[in-house]
Structure 1
Amino acid sequence: MSYTALHWGVYRPQVRDGRLEGMLAAEWDQDPSPIGLFLPEAIDSPSRIRRPAIRRSALENPGSHPERRGQEPFVEVSWDQALDWVAAELQRVRHQYGNQAIFGGSYGWASAGRFHHAQSQLHRFLNGFGGYVYSVDTYSLGAGRVLMPHIVAPMDWLLSQHTSWDNLAEHCELFVAFGGLPIKNAQNSPGGASDHLLRPALEQLTQAGVRFINISPLRSDLESDNSEWWPLRPGSDTAFMLALAYVLVSEGLHDEAFLERYTVGFAPFRDYLLGLSDGQPKTPDWAAPVTDIPAEHIRELARRMASSRTMINVAYGLQRARHGEQPFWMTVVLAALLGQIGLPGGGFGVGYGCMNNTGSGRKPFSGPRFSQGQNPVRDFIPVARFVDMLLNPGAPFDYNGQHLHYPDIQLIYWAGGNAFHHHQDLNQLRQAWQKPQSIIVQDQYWTAQAKHADVVLPATTALERNDIGSASSDRFMIAMKKVIEPVGEARDDYQIFCDLAQRLGFSEDFSEGRDEMDWLRYIYQDSFARAEEQNIHLPSFEDFWAEGRFEIAKPEQQTILLNDFRNDPEAHPLPTPSGRIELFSQRIADFGYADCPGHPLWLEKPAPTYPLHLISNQPKTRLHSQYDHGGYSRASKIQGREPITLNPQDAVARGIAEGDVVRVYNERGALLAGVILSQDIRPGVVQLATGAWYDPLSAKDSQTLEIHGNPNVLTEDVGASSLSQGCTAHTCYVDIERWEAELPEIKAFDPPAFYREPETAAL
């Protein structure tokens, strides 16, 4: 039986006469995602890149007329011509500017397969070519990834060790969820969500009597009959947490013994909390006008948390904002004050509900890995500072205690990912995109990024190649067998890079003489030692491949985050400077950042310039922008536009009705979206999911109207702080008006124009 692992689940492809006709969810999946069921119509849609293509001016003169990207037609060429062009341009840029002028712009969600993983393939290739400028962190978790190693432990370790759902069902009494626990987000895992957990887990906890507090502008962020909705003002979570902490400390409800043994830095934080250091006690009365939560409600919740076995969770979205480190830090501080960290059913979480495998309770085994090699180039950027790098070569920037400078990039090679989805302020990105001399994009579909490239190389999808799907802390490792032939002339990323490496003189170093199946067998066998460390006994590759899957057993003991540390902090110290939880971090304080000092605190944000707070959260009908052109995502559109949710109170004030198309705008740009009205969103807040393929009305005007509903034409491109430089998409204000003019035609899913030489008239 053949399976394939996709980010949003495991499916059984249904193929007839070489054509993909359907997808069936894996028989064991408790709550399969419908996204993968709609794959067949998307695989060979008009959006598919079928042949190599080069922008006309770039074909005639590489590096010329970058301002025409996204405007002039492409010329379809042979693979040999395209690969010769790419190899020659790589050599030219390296010779003229050095490897530090090449940016490897891949992002990690391109494939659930561990070998045909576009990011790993590209980075291995560029490392073999002499190196490249790389990026660190993620748009999803930029602030959190930088902060958490300073105060507790690295994020990947924390996520793999979260207290399991079954332990929470037995021991948790109160689950306080900042940002909720949205089921739509937990459809996904990077290596494939092999068994969806969140909906069954919420049902299990609800039946066990766990009470949930959903602290979010959206009621839909937590689905449980035992849930209370507290619709606080977006961006005010840190103030709310500080007020809870004030009640715990001022009423003597905090655990002094825990703080003394397991933490450092309580005294300076306490002085700030009580107003001794700045003259402002962080009382519930202080927080009430900031959060729109009544002071008495804050007091009552703090007392409930102290009298219950309490889990405090913070969603990724809270740190995608100005000063995004602060709510994560305060989550840890609150849990430390309660003294329940390391106990069954209590403590904190930094991502329950954000991906499927968090809280699975399974062993943290990530499966096979494809080595990227070593990068000789030391220059890097935080990933969300990509446009700053292009616009400001040589300019200084701070990051995590380092004083760095932006490199001068002349060539971008992108395989997997779509900057015109995940970056902020897309109008500014369009301007920055004209700076490099050459842009190479390797992809499966004609996304906006591909349409704005110089050369485009068509890559295969997961169903058109063999691979191994495996996510850390997930249930199954999957043998992903090829089920259909590549569409058009698409080639595997690995084959493309092998052909380029051959042209550039390092073929043997890149391929090591292995073909696809040789590599699958090698990386599978290479994972044996890591599997044995987790007491996982893998079958032979031949048996695994024949069976189609391997189930990773749960540990004998339930997973409890930081349980070993609590039992013996001397024998199991944390990887922080003190070995303990750092409520005050001397290392961060020594960095001297005014926007992220040595302990968590409330930092005022700039005054809103528009009346509505825009929440651009994750979509329900796709992963990021993947398969927005598929039927499931397109069926959710309103008059072809991405839906935007408003409270009826805000709609009435603007003369807007359900189903209208509206213009959403601020100082950075404007877009069109279709209206949904709901009482389940707080007044003054609007919600527009990320991932609608970018569709500008004009190819030339950098401030043109976006007509499909991509919120990142509106979000700000500013770092969360000098510490992390993470993205701040959720610090965004807009206004809305009804669109009265004729609706422009959606062209997001159309391929670009192609130039063909005119035929010579017959004599």
Structure 2
Amino acid sequence: MATEKLQGITRRRFLSGMLTASAGAVIGSSLLAPRTAMAATDAKSTFSGDVIHGSHWGAFRAKVENGIWIDTVAFENDPHPTAMLSAVREVVYNPSRVKYPMVRLDWLKHGWKSDTTQRGDNRFVRVPWSQALDFFHHELERVQNTYGPSALYAGHSGWQSCGKLNTAGTIMQRAISLHGTYLAKIGDYSTGSAQVVLPYVAGAMEVYEQQTSWPLVLENAKNIVIWGSDPIKNLQVGWLIPDHSVYGYYQQLADKVKSGEINVIHVDPVKSQSYKFFGGKQVPVNPQTDVPLMLAIAHTLYTEKLYDEQFLADYTTGFDQFVPYLTGEKDGVAKTPEWAEKICGIPADEIRELARTMASGRTQIIAGWCLQRMQHGEQYAWMIVVLAAMLGQIGLPGGGFGFGWHYNDAGTITSAGPLMSGFSSVTGVEPIHQGSYNGYSTYIPVARFVDCIENPGKTIQFNGHSVKFPHMKMAIFCGNNPFHHHQDRNRMIEAWRKLETVVSVEHQWTATCRFADIVLPATTTYERNDIEQFGNHSNKGIIAMKQIVEPMFESKDDFDIFRELCTRFDREEAFTGGKTKMEWIEEIYNGARLQGRGIGVRMPNFVKFWEEEQFVSFPEGSEWVRHAAFRKEPDLEPLGTATGLIEIYCKTIADMGYDDCQGHPMWFEKVERSHGGPKSNKFPLHMQSCHPNYRLHSQLCSSDDFRGTYAVQDREPVYISTADAKARGIVSGDIVRVFNDRGQVLAGAVVTDDYKSGVCRIEEGAWYAPLEGGKPGTLCTYGDPNVLTVDIGTSKLAQATSAHTALVEIEKYTGPIPSVTGFSGPTEIDDVNPLFPAMDIA
């Protein structure tokens, strides 16, 4: 078969290129170039001046001298820029850059038959771009022809890249969809359970929606209940480019709290940044017991007749089927404040007072996402809606509920300007391969993808359907890092060995790259041109994202990587649509410009915008109230539920017959829970792993200098209460071991009075840095909390992540202190003997 073709790749070409790469691999110091290294091509590297750009942390102007980015200045139209902007320059220059196309050593020798237990050991060989893409294409062909589309997992995604053109996941899926169909994912890690249950209950996903305009809330609300949310911390970042104007409203709220005009209540075991900024009262509920607290509030509202009977009659359905559970008629357990006190730790009289306060005037409930990321997280989201419905203020300014207040500048007034579209993953061109899925599902819930790898052929229940796990053989990850956002890292490492080939397209040498077989270096957003919306829900305008520096080393734009891949199966024209990157950017802009004409918003032509103005602002829009149309005309503006009403009892869910998510919200015990719950005798501390203060998930963790501003002895901080630290002989600055039956990490102790006893926190996004790469159970030297989290579905309804169901113990670390691994490229690269046995690619 030496000269026989395999879909356009000859064996001779495949092997000769591989041998050339082996013989000519530039190994050693070139892979460890300093962060100030210049780009591989310096033809344009003499530019000096200011360059406008944007990021998930805000817009800015980069100061460039002789082609080197030396400083970052916040955009003049951002009134409250985040300190994280100082870390974005490091993304280009840090030692974790993926510099060259790399192939894992044993995979280079043996291809898909490699020893997968070596994944994670960080031994890679540099290969030419052409050969790396040949490998990529060959594996696509092999998997499609051998197993079919169910074996190729290409739908995984994380946060998008800023920019309407260069969205990594979209570009990847466009190219792979031209080659063949594949196994896709459904849902996400951020809001996995809420986004499934809320459409049944409230008619929409709710979690990503715009909220009532803050001026109306500030004018009309008497009480604001912030339930498990920390908007002051979380709104530093945005899905697009945040304008941070929402912080102006937050200052007004803090002033009103100080003057006594508005009460703010924080239901949270931690004194959050929002608590410190706004002031108000804390209700330090025991972790994972918010639903018993909510049920007791509902019980008080019901028994003291503080609820709005007319609203329930006009706008909801199923309250009469919920009441027997609430009163105990159904199960013999009345959900009284006394019952809840024993579980949630809040005195019964305080629960009653909280219920009365919420019923005393206009009350806005601000619900966070962390609490739906625990086992049975659907129940929390459902009960938030039930409480708001009982109060009867849904659709009124300053009343009701919202799940998106801490996301995307929510509550700012949306402008009257157009919205830009973006590069699409859909081309309308049929893929080359459209094989059979052989009875397996075409999608999997994203948080169950390790289950899928581990248990091929298993059938699970999900949202009223049966999902049969296929035999996953190949996985492609582009611009996302599952070795950050998935749970139970050691279980994941074991399951990962079942994959034959893993491809990662990335600009930082993440743990996902270390556990990949083919690693392709992408540019950062700062090394390419693009265009984006300034302001998320606010849509303040359009900003040019102009290339700041030339691409570093051998990195390429995602667009070019996948365009070149498509040339290997004759789909380049379909992928590019016959346009260059700048032509796409101009078309995206002109689409918004045309839309603007229709609504009376004038925009300059593209050349003037790009070369001169570089930012177009839109006129301010109108204030808005969430659910107001439904409240005003429920018959003409029904919700998207089966009945068109808020469903306190949902027959659709009830008919699914799930034992862990029934027809109305309920309290279910967790597999592990602190403060006297299951497993708390062995592991007494509840570990929160909520959104970080100094990163966007795992992004910016590799910015060494910025990481040094918050790390403790080079480790991720673990926040622990003063009482718990004293009981363990721990003081701030100590290196501690955080552990449970699932794994162990080192972290740096920060002792604080802000945390309730029995609660600790390691913020998610801390990079996985194993002491022994690729070995399950090894110590994580930096502090990845997902070494410790549990990997079970929230329920059969959503099958979402239960990351916030996690107990740990902490002890002062007394062993030899290892160096932190994880923040550089490959650490060991062996020369490859060009005479090794030929890889069998047949």
The answer to whether the Cα contact below 8 Å between 2:253 and 2:278 also exists between their aligned partners in 1 is no
Report matched runs for 1:483-494 at 5 Å: 483-494=548-559
For structure 1, the 5+ residue unaligned runs are none
Q: Does 1:292 align with 2:345?
A: yes
The answer for the alignment partner of 1:599 in structure 2 is 664
Structure 1 stretches of 4+ with a deviation exceeding 4 A read 363-366, 374-378, 527-539
Report matched runs for 1:53-452 at 5 Å: 53-63=102-112, 64-71=114-121, 73-155=123-205, 159-193=208-242, 195-208=243-256, 209-222=261-274, 223-353=276-406, 355-362=407-414, 367-373=420-426, 379-452=442-515
| Residues in 2 aligned to 1:9 and 1:416: alpha-carbon distance in whole angstroms | 19
The answer for the alignment partner of 2:655 in structure 1 is 590
| Residues in 2 aligned to 1:422 and 1:89: alpha-carbon distance in whole angstroms | 26
| Residues in 2 aligned to 1:307 and 1:533: alpha-carbon distance in whole angstroms | 46
1:530 Cα deviation from its structure 2 partner = 6.5
The DSSP-based 3-state class of the residue aligned with 1:124 is: helix
| Residues in 1 aligned to 2:751 and 2:828: alpha-carbon distance in whole angstroms | 41
1:507 Cα deviation from its structure 2 partner = 1.4
The answer to whether the Cα contact below 8 Å between 2:51 and 2:63 also exists between their aligned partners in 1 is no
1:635 Cα deviation from its structure 2 partner = 2.0
For structure 2, the 5+ residue unaligned runs are 1-49, 672-677, 835-842
| Residues in 2 aligned to 1:476 and 1:69: alpha-carbon distance in whole angstroms | 45
| Residues in 1 aligned to 2:630 and 2:747: alpha-carbon distance in whole angstroms | 49
1:730 is aligned, of 793, 804, 809, to 804
The answer to whether the Cα contact below 8 Å between 2:246 and 2:412 also exists between their aligned partners in 1 is no
The answer for the alignment partner of 1:746 in structure 2 is 820
Q: 1:560 to 1:159 in 2, by over 3 A?
A: farther
The answer to whether the Cα contact below 8 Å between 2:781 and 2:821 also exists between their aligned partners in 1 is no
The answer to whether the Cα contact below 8 Å between 1:313 and 1:331 also exists between their aligned partners in 2 is no
**Amino acid in structure 1 at the alignment position of 2:205:** M
The answer for the alignment partner of 2:674 in structure 1 is none
| Residues in 1 aligned to 2:303 and 2:542: alpha-carbon distance in whole angstroms | 50
1:421 Cα deviation from its structure 2 partner = 0.6
The answer for the alignment partner of 1:612 in structure 2 is 685
| Residues in 2 aligned to 1:399 and 1:534: alpha-carbon distance in whole angstroms | 42
The DSSP-based 3-state class of the residue aligned with 1:469 is: strand
The DSSP-based 3-state class of the residue aligned with 1:707 is: coil
| Residues in 1 aligned to 2:757 and 2:463: alpha-carbon distance in whole angstroms | 37
The answer to whether the Cα contact below 8 Å between 1:161 and 1:560 also exists between their aligned partners in 2 is no
**Amino acid in structure 2 at the alignment position of 1:60:** K
Q: 1:138 to 1:758 in 2, by over 3 A?
A: closer
**Amino acid in structure 1 at the alignment position of 2:192:** G
Q: Percent identity?
A: 39
Q: 1:535 to 1:342 in 2, by over 3 A?
A: farther
**Amino acid in structure 2 at the alignment position of 1:477:** I
1:551 is aligned, of 605, 617, 621, to 617
The answer for the alignment partner of 1:676 in structure 2 is 750
| Residues in 2 aligned to 1:724 and 1:529: alpha-carbon distance in whole angstroms | 40
1:602 Cα deviation from its structure 2 partner = 1.0
Q: 1:104 to 1:538 in 2, by over 3 A?
A: farther
The answer to whether the Cα contact below 8 Å between 1:585 and 1:599 also exists between their aligned partners in 2 is yes
Q: Does 1:459 align with 2:522?
A: yes
The answer to whether the Cα contact below 8 Å between 2:719 and 2:760 also exists between their aligned partners in 1 is yes
The answer to whether the Cα contact below 8 Å between 1:179 and 1:221 also exists between their aligned partners in 2 is no
| Residues in 1 aligned to 2:696 and 2:716: alpha-carbon distance in whole angstroms | 14
The answer for the alignment partner of 2:26 in structure 1 is none
Q: Does 1:663 align with 2:737?
A: yes
1:532 Cα deviation from its structure 2 partner = 7.3
The answer to whether the Cα contact below 8 Å between 1:611 and 1:684 also exists between their aligned partners in 2 is yes
The answer to whether the Cα contact below 8 Å between 2:771 and 2:821 also exists between their aligned partners in 1 is no
Q: Does 1:480 align with 2:545?
A: yes
Q: 1:290 to 1:537 in 2, by over 3 A?
A: farther
1:605 Cα deviation from its structure 2 partner = 1.6
The answer to whether the Cα contact below 8 Å between 1:320 and 1:727 also exists between their aligned partners in 2 is yes
Report matched runs for 1:697-712 at 5 Å: 697-712=771-786
The DSSP-based 3-state class of the residue aligned with 1:671 is: strand
The answer to whether the Cα contact below 8 Å between 1:105 and 1:415 also exists between their aligned partners in 2 is no
1:459 Cα deviation from its structure 2 partner = 0.2
Higher mean displacement: 162-171 or 659-668: 162-171
Q: 1:584 to 1:344 in 2, by over 3 A?
A: same
The answer to whether the Cα contact below 8 Å between 2:231 and 2:405 also exists between their aligned partners in 1 is no
Q: 1:544 to 1:167 in 2, by over 3 A?
A: farther
**Amino acid in structure 2 at the alignment position of 1:235:** Q
Q: Does 1:43 align with 2:92?
A: yes
The answer for the alignment partner of 2:5 in structure 1 is none
The DSSP-based 3-state class of the residue aligned with 1:159 is: coil
Aligned residues between the structures: 756
Larger Rg: 2
1:37 Cα deviation from its structure 2 partner = 1.6
| Residues in 2 aligned to 1:258 and 1:662: alpha-carbon distance in whole angstroms | 53
The answer to whether the Cα contact below 8 Å between 2:91 and 2:524 also exists between their aligned partners in 1 is no
The answer to whether the Cα contact below 8 Å between 2:204 and 2:639 also exists between their aligned partners in 1 is no
The answer to whether the Cα contact below 8 Å between 1:150 and 1:582 also exists between their aligned partners in 2 is yes
* Cα-to-partner distance string for 1:44-65 (whole Å, 9 max, x where unaligned): 2221111111112212221122
Q: Does 1:623 align with 2:660?
A: no
The answer to whether the Cα contact below 8 Å between 2:716 and 2:783 also exists between their aligned partners in 1 is yes
* Cα-to-partner distance string for 1:551-610 (whole Å, 9 max, x where unaligned): 243323x11110111111111111111111111111111111111111111112231341
| Residues in 1 aligned to 2:402 and 2:158: alpha-carbon distance in whole angstroms | 23
Higher mean displacement: 694-703 or 645-654: 694-703
**Amino acid in structure 1 at the alignment position of 2:781:** I
The DSSP-based 3-state class of the residue aligned with 1:593 is: coil
| Residues in 2 aligned to 1:529 and 1:303: alpha-carbon distance in whole angstroms | 52
Q: 1:147 to 1:488 in 2, by over 3 A?
A: same
The answer to whether the Cα contact below 8 Å between 2:105 and 2:830 also exists between their aligned partners in 1 is no
**Amino acid in structure 2 at the alignment position of 1:299:** R
The answer to whether the Cα contact below 8 Å between 1:66 and 1:438 also exists between their aligned partners in 2 is no
1:756 Cα deviation from its structure 2 partner = 5.4
TM-score (norm 1): 0.96
Higher mean displacement: 62-71 or 710-719: 62-71
The answer for the alignment partner of 2:675 in structure 1 is none
Q: 1:366 to 1:237 in 2, by over 3 A?
A: farther
| Residues in 1 aligned to 2:117 and 2:360: alpha-carbon distance in whole angstroms | 63
The answer to whether the Cα contact below 8 Å between 1:362 and 1:552 also exists between their aligned partners in 2 is no
Q: Does 1:20 align with 2:69?
A: yes
TM-score (norm 2): 0.87
| Residues in 2 aligned to 1:199 and 1:512: alpha-carbon distance in whole angstroms | 41
The DSSP-based 3-state class of the residue aligned with 2:790 is: coil
The answer for the alignment partner of 1:632 in structure 2 is 706
| Residues in 2 aligned to 1:205 and 1:289: alpha-carbon distance in whole angstroms | 34
**Amino acid in structure 2 at the alignment position of 1:83:** L
Root mean square deviation, CA, Å: 2.0
* Cα-to-partner distance string for 1:659-697 (whole Å, 9 max, x where unaligned): 111111111001001101111100010111111110111
1:514 is aligned, of 553, 556, 579, to 579
1:312 Cα deviation from its structure 2 partner = 0.9
| Residues in 2 aligned to 1:758 and 1:383: alpha-carbon distance in whole angstroms | 37
The answer for the alignment partner of 2:630 in structure 1 is 565
Higher mean displacement: 227-236 or 526-535: 526-535
The answer to whether the Cα contact below 8 Å between 2:119 and 2:774 also exists between their aligned partners in 1 is no
Higher mean displacement: 251-260 or 369-378: 369-378
**Amino acid in structure 1 at the alignment position of 2:223:** L
| Residues in 2 aligned to 1:736 and 1:510: alpha-carbon distance in whole angstroms | 52
